[in-house]
Structure formats: structure tokens, C-alpha cells
């Protein structure tokens, strides 16, 4: 089993419904959902990887437990209890290294601090990656700083190398992007830009390699 700490839209947020429909799966219930049609393209293929991970933005990347679920959950609850809810900047659809994703419209220090606390504050529960897992990351292509972060925290896009993103597609060709971008914009409409607050820390679990991630628990921020 792997565990991850994510941000996910609240259930009453229309982004939860629209994003789940786009990906074809509700991580809260595990239900398969009908996806909108894409002219000339297979949306199930376009969204396959993102569907497996579920609608989310990563705070602490997936890791195997070296302690126990109960111990990790207790520390996650303590972190959530001392974190004050905060406003999330309006989100915007963007081309993110060839993927379509929702990004922050402006940087948010409270969000960065929350993410950093998740990465560092719960790391005692992370089983270090194997040599094979490190090799798959291809450290030779990373910057020196990213290799340092990979060694320290098991992943290279954390702390000062992290950015908030909600991935909604695989990497697209220019031709695919010309079809998918307007369809996704029409599907989401103005919902990403609507005001929202970060009020929960979401625990996701993956039962085994290749299994979909499911939202196990929403821990309220009580600071």
C-alpha cells in the first residue's frame, strides 16, 4: 500500500463534480463516471494516468509506510489541527509541460508552507525508495538541487521545487491540445476561478501497484 497527502476539492465544490466527470472517476466513492466526448479523440486515453491518481494536487507525494497507518494518521491529524484554513488563489487552466492542468493564478505562501509541512513533518513514516525506484526517476536529468531533494525526501519536486497543479490530461500533441483545451475550458467554465478555501488535508491510499488512488479521509484544518 502507498499513502499520499493531497489537496482535493471539497465535496460541495462544483470542481469536485466537474473534475471527477472529466477524469471519469470519483475518488471519494470509487465510482466510474461517464466522461464528456472529445471530437475525434478517446478521452479515456487522454485522462488515463490522471484518472488513476484521482482529482488532486500533491502535497506529499505517494510513499510506502515504514511505520503504520495509525501512527501516520495521528501525525497527519496533529498537523491538520495546528494548520489554519486559508484562501486558495483562483485556479486557471494552463499548459503545464505539455499536460493540461489547473494552476494557481498567483503564488500563495500559506499553501507553500502547508505543503512543506506535509513533506517534512510526516517523513518519519516514509519508507525510502529502492534503488530501482530512484533509477526510474532518472537522476542524471535532474538539477543538483533536485537530486539533493530526491535523496532527502524521496522525490525531487518538493519544497522550493514544488508547484501546485491539478493534472487533467496526459502529455498532448499540438493537434490533441487544439481539441482538448477548448473542450476542457467549456466543461469547467468559470468554476476553477471561483473563490475557495483550503480547509482539509486529504489522505489518499493506493492498495497496490497499478491500483487507483482513493480518498481515505479528509482531516479538517483546525488551527
> What would the grid cell of residue 146 be?
533536485
Domain residue limits at 75: 2-109+164-220
Residue 49 falls inside a structural domain? yes
Residue 119 falls inside a structural domain? no
Residue 208 falls inside a structural domain? yes
Count the domains in the chain.
Answer: 1
The pLDDT score that the predictor gives to residue 46 is 98
The pLDDT score that the predictor gives to residue 183 is 98
Helix (H) or strand (E) holding 219: strand 213-220
Residue 54's CB: how many other CB atoms inside 10 A? Answer: 24
Residue 116 falls inside a structural domain? no
Residue 207 falls inside a structural domain? yes
Residue 42 falls inside a structural domain? yes
> What would the grid cell of residue 15 be?
470542481
Residue 114 falls inside a structural domain? no
Q: What is the CATH number of the domain that holds 212?
A: 3.90.1140.10
The pLDDT score that the predictor gives to residue 166 is 98
Q: What does pLDDT average to in each consecutive run of 10 residues of the chain (223 residues)?
A: 97 98 96 96 98 98 97 98 98 96 97 98 96 92 96 96 97 97 98 98 95 97 96
Alpha-carbon torsion angle 69, 71, 75, 76, nearest 10: 10
Residue 133 falls inside a structural domain? no
Amino acid at each position: 500500500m502507498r499513502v499520499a497527502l493531497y489537496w482535493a476539492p471539497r465535496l460541495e465544490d462544483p470542481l469536485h463534480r466537474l473534475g471527477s466527470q472529466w477524469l471519469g472517476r470519483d475518488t471519494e466513492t470509487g465510482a466510474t463516471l461517464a466522461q464528456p466526448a472529445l471530437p475525434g479523440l478517446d478521452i479515456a486515453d487522454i485522462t488515463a494516468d490522471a484518472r488513476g491518481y484521482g482529482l488532486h494536487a500533491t502535497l506529499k507525494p505517494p510513499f510506502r509506510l515504514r511505520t503504520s497507518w495509525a501512527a501516520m494518521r495521528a501525525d497527519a491529524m496533529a498537523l491538520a489541527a495546528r494548520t489554519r484554513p486559508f484562501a486558495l488563489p483562483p485556479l486557471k487552466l494552463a499548459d503545464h509541460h505539455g499536460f493540461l492542468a489547473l494552476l494557481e493564478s498567483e503564488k500563495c505562501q500559506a499553501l507553500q508552507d502547508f505543503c512543506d509541512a506535509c513533506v517534512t513533518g510526516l517523513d518519519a513514516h516514509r519508507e525510502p525508495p529502492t534503488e530501482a525506484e530512484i533509477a526510474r526517476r532518472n537522476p542524471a536529468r535532474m538539477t543538483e538541487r533536485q537530486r539533493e531533494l530526491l535523496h532527502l525526501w524521496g522525490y525531487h519536486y518538493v519544497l522550493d521545487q514544488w508547484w501546485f497543479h491539478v493534472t487533467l490530461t496526459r502529455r498532448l500533441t499540438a493537434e490533441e491540445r487544439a481539441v482538448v483545451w477548448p473542450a476542457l475550458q467549456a466543461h469547467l467554465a468559470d468554476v476553477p476561478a471561483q473563490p475557495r478555501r483550503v480547509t482539509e488535508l486529504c489522505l489518499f491510499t493506493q492498495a497496490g501497484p497499478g491500483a487507483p488512488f482513493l480518498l481515505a479521509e479528509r482531516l479538517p484544518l483546525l488551527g
